[in-house]
């Protein structure tokens, strides 16, 4: 057995600025930090492209907001077979192999989209913007959910409560860096935005290597159950395949059902907000084009695409800067002094204030600021809460239940948001203010179910502690 360090290293003393890090935990925590940093950096290389591409993918008879909303609904339909297939794979492959295969598959998809993107080899292939939108949405939730399932399997509950806020800084830093690098590359005269999909493959490839290194640190002959707690790691849990589908695992647990419901409500509320932001942006660009006298079809198309991409590039940058600050200096302290319950309730409280403000003053400046506040909280404090939530769960629940909830139920929320747009626009002709008021009502329901999750989380954690004492 290798002797355990008695004192913190310089690295660990530095990491203590953000959360409590004990001797022997620093290297693995830094590897996990780097892993999620690379994943989110790759995601934000391609996310701004999604908004610009969908903005020029018109469908006759539908507004731009409807095209965006209905595309989100398509994601929920595609995720049903995808989640089922991934659940089958999780019982067949070791976790490092599963992560590698899923990530490589996403990289191959990027190569295909690089070939068919507008203005490269093909001027504008019909509906490819919608297909790309569907894929980016699934990639964004699925690959990230896969990482956090891996992290929840690597760390015990006690270590995860301390170290997850630190690792999550890597996610927000990766998102902010990806947005900033994207802006720098696109603005450079030496780089064409068409290459962003190729560039995004590089950090994903590096993340595969880091996942394998972490997995080897746990499963190597030198690791053991005595040294594992001191390093912040635990022995790899074998995913015992019970033969149940991922959906049946979710509905067999009151804890997972409540988690699925708040995930769906969060997605419904947030997607409503994103759709409304997109609507306000398009209305602003339309009025700006009229003021500048842009009437030519080609010029108007380029103006709309570039204006939308530029707005969202700036929007994502400030969202990620806010998230980085909250993650670095608020999330870990909120968890330490307020506990999991306070951490989980922070997001719906911020959403409640934000949508009340947007309903009162539904103009672009206010909507942008409030959405930055909401999304920053979601990507930092709420992201930490969502992942700490899974620490008391079983390995099967993590590798089957978590990807199902974080992908399928997220996109079901998107689908319901699409139906909300359909009914609100086509049947009721609701104003932007009315949509925001609807969101306020949904947030109250979200808060009610959050209390159920908090109660069940406490019960599972107590059961695990009691089992460990025997």
> What pLDDT score does 34 carry?
93
Of 251-260, 374-383, 405-414, the range with the lowest mean pLDDT is 405-414
The torsion region of residue 24 among left (phi > 0), alpha (psi -120 to 50) and beta comes to left
Mean pLDDT along residues 266-276:
90
Q: Specify the CATH number for the domain of residue 162.
A: 1.20.1250.20
How many helices (DSSP H) and strands (DSSP E) are in the chain?
A: 18, 0
Q: Are 414 and 73 in contact (CB under 8 A)?
A: yes
Dig out the tokens for 58 from the structure: 């018109």
Residue 189 lies in a domain: yes
Range(s) of the domain holding residue 428: 21-222+244-469
Tokens 């608020």 label which residue?
A: 330
Of residues 185 and 353, more confidently modeled: 353
Dig out the tokens for 235 from the structure: 């022995």
Tokens 């084009």 label which residue?
A: 289
Tokens 């959050």 label which residue?
A: 450
Residue 456 lies in a domain: yes
Cα–Cα dist 182/194, whole Å: 11
| Residues in a beta bridge with 29 | none
Chain centroid to CA 147: 11
Which pLDDT band, with edges at 50, 70 and 90, does 231 fall under?
A: very low
> What pLDDT score does 256 carry?
92
460 Cβ contact partners less than 8 Å away, ≥ 6 residues apart: 255, 392, 393
Give DSSP secondary structure letters for 155-220: S-HHHHHHHHHHHHHHHHHHHHHHHHHHHHHHHSTT--GGGHHHHHHHHHHHHHHHHHHHHHHHHS
Of 153-157, 203-207, 227-231, the range with the lowest mean pLDDT is 227-231
> What pLDDT score does 64 carry?
63
Cα–Cα dist 297/463, whole Å: 64
Which pLDDT band, with edges at 50, 70 and 90, does 65 fall under?
A: low
Of residues 260 and 94, more confidently modeled: 260
Cα–Cα dist 334/336, whole Å: 6
Chain centroid to CA 108: 21
> What pLDDT score does 223 carry?
45
Residue 448 lies in a domain: yes
pLDDT in tens, 352-401: 999 999 998 888 889 999 999 999 999 889 988 988 888 888 777 777 78
Question: String of b and e for 306-327 (b: at least 16 CB within 10 Å)?
Answer: ebbbebbbebbbbbbbbbbebb
Mean pLDDT along residues 435-446:
94
Task: Give percent above pLDDT 90 in the chain.
Answer: 20
- Angle between helices 332-360 and 157-187 in degrees, nearest 10: 50
Task: Indicate the average pLDDT of the chain.
Answer: 80
Highest averaged pLDDT of the listed ranges 303-317, 421-435, 437-451: 437-451
> What pLDDT score does 388 carry?
86
Of residues 50 and 289, more confidently modeled: 289
Of 55-59, 154-158, 198-202, 334-338, the range with the lowest mean pLDDT is 55-59
151: helix, strand or coil: helix
pLDDT in tens, 115-132: 877 666 666 666 677 788
Give DSSP secondary structure letters for 82-93: HHHHHHHHHTTS
Q: Is residue 464 scored above 80 in pLDDT?
A: no
Residue 239 lies in a domain: no
Residue 344 lies in a domain: yes
> What pLDDT score does 372 carry?
94
> What pLDDT score does 120 carry?
66
> What pLDDT score does 225 carry?
33
Global model pTM greater than 0.85: no
Query: Taking Cα atoms as reference points, which of 263, 258, 271 lies closest to residue 420?
Result: 271
Mean pLDDT along residues 3-25:
77
Residue 7 lies in a domain: no
> What pLDDT score does 269 carry?
95
Residue 133 lies in a domain: yes
Residue 8 lies in a domain: no
Cα–Cα dist 148/170, whole Å: 12
> What pLDDT score does 238 carry?
46
By residue count, the chain amounts to: 470
> What pLDDT score does 224 carry?
38
DSSP state of 361: S
Cα–Cα dist 392/461, whole Å: 5
Cα–Cα dist 57/68, whole Å: 9
Rg over alpha carbons for the chain, rounded to the nearest Å, is 22
How many domains are there within the chain? Answer: 1
Which pLDDT band, with edges at 50, 70 and 90, does 227 fall under?
A: very low
Cα–Cα dist 246/396, whole Å: 9
């Amino acid at each position: 057995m290798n002797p355990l360090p008695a004192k913190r290293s310089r690295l660990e003393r530095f990491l203590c600025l953000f959360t409590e890090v004990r001797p022997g935990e620093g290297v693995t925590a830094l590897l996990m930090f780097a892993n999620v940093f690379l994943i989110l950096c790759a995601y934000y290389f391609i996310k701004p492209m999604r908004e610009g591409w969908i903005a020029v993918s018109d469908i006759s008879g539908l507004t731009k907001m409807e095209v965006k909303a209905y595309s989100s609904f398509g994601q929920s339909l595609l995720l049903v077979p995808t989640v089922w297939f991934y659940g089958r794979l999780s019982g067949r492959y070791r976790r490092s192999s599963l992560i590698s295969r899923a990530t490589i598959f996403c990289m191959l998809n990027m190569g295909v989209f690089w070939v068919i993107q507008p203005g490269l080899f093909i001027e504008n292939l019909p509906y490819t913007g919608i297909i790309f939108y569907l894929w980016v949405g699934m990639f964004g939730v699925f690959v990230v959910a896969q990482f956090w399932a891996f992290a929840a399997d690597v760390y015990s509950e006690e270590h995860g409560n301390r170290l997850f806020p630190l690792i999550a800084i890597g996610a927000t830093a990766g998102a902010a860096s990806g947005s900033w690098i994207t802006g720098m590359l696109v603005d450079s005269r030496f780089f064409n935005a068409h290459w962003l999909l190729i560039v995004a493959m590089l950090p994903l490839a590096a993340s595969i290597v880091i996942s394998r290194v972490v997995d080897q640190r746990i499963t190597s002959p030198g690791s053991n159950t005595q040294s594992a707690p001191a390093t912040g790691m635990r022995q790899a849990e074998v995913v015992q395949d019970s033969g149940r589908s991922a959906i049946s695992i979710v509905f067999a647990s009151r804890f997972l059902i409540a988690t699925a419901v708040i995930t769906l409500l969060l997605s419904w509320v947030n997607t409503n907000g994103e759709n409304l932001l997109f609507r306000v942006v398009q209305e602003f660009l339309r009025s700006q084009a009229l003021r500048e006298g842009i009437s030519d079809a080609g010029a108007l198309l380029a103006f709309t695409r570039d204006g939308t991409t530029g707005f969202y590039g700036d929007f994502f940058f400030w969202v990620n800067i806010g998230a980085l600050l909250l993650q670095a200096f608020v999330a870990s302290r909120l968890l330490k002094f307020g506990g999991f319950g306070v951490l989980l309730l922070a997001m719906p409280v911020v959403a409640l204030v934000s949508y009340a403000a947007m309903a009162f003053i539904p103009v672009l400046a206010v909507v942008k600021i409030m959405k930055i506040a909401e999304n920053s909280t979601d990507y930092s404090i709420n992201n930490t809460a969502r992942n700490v939530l899974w620490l008391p769960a079983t390995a099967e629940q993590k590798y089957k239940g978590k990807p199902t909830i974080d992908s399928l139920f997220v996109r079901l929320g998107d689908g319901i948001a699409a139906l909300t747009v359909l009914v609100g626009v086509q049947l009721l002709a609701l104003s932007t203010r009315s949509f925001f008021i609807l969101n306020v009502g949904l947030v109250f329901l979200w808060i009610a179910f959050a209390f159920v999750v908090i109660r069940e989380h406490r019960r599972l954690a107590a059961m695990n502690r009691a089992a460990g004492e025997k």
